[in-house]
Amino acid sequence: MVVFESTGGLEIDLWLALNEAGIDAAPINPRQIRNFAQALNQQAKTDTIDAQIIAQFGQVIKPKPQVVPDTQGLKELVARRNQIVEMISAENCRIKAARQNAIKTDIRANIDWLEKRP
């Protein structure tokens, strides 16, 4: 089993790769690791020490393996939708500032295309 800190989404690629390889994975809240280190009176913080603490946490606590939640795909879709909404908003600001009709037509075409996205 691989035990690692969950770091706000940065761990997803590792987690997916471990799941696809059939290797048990246990993402742990960094606060739990920090509290565990404090309980061991470990105040220093380096990558090497962190790795040792996380490994020790896994051996002592024996967290249950977890699979990547199915909600990850939904989160990515929501993030992409938010990006498209931001692009439409930016184009609407640009069209107000444009003076030439050709530029306004081009921006309007882009807005129309973005709004038709699934």
Determine the pLDDT at residue 74: 83
- Say whether both 18 and 38 belong to one domain: yes
Mean pLDDT of 39-67: 93
d(CA 42, CA 73): 37
Determine the pLDDT at residue 58: 97
d(CA 94, CA 114): 15
Tens-place pLDDT, residues 62-115: 999 998 877 778 888 899 999 999 999 999 999 999 999 999 999 999 999 999
Question: 57 in a domain, yes or no?
Answer: yes
**Which residues are registered as beta bridge partners of 3?**
26
- Say whether both 46 and 6 belong to one domain: yes
Question: What is this structure's pTM?
Answer: 0.58
Tens-place pLDDT, residues 1-46: 999 999 888 898 899 899 999 999 999 999 999 999 999 999 888 9
Mean pLDDT of 35-62: 94
Residue type, 16: L
**Token output for 90:** 């930016």
Determine the pLDDT at residue 92: 97
- Spatial contact of 42 and 49, defined as CB atoms under 8 Å apart: yes
Containing domain of residue 94, as a range?
Answer: 71-115
Q: Tell which of 16, 41, 61 closes a domain.
A: 61
- Spatial contact of 28 and 57, defined as CB atoms under 8 Å apart: yes
Question: 79 in a domain, yes or no?
Answer: yes
**DSSP secondary structure letter of residue 24:** -
In the chain, the number of structural domains is: 2
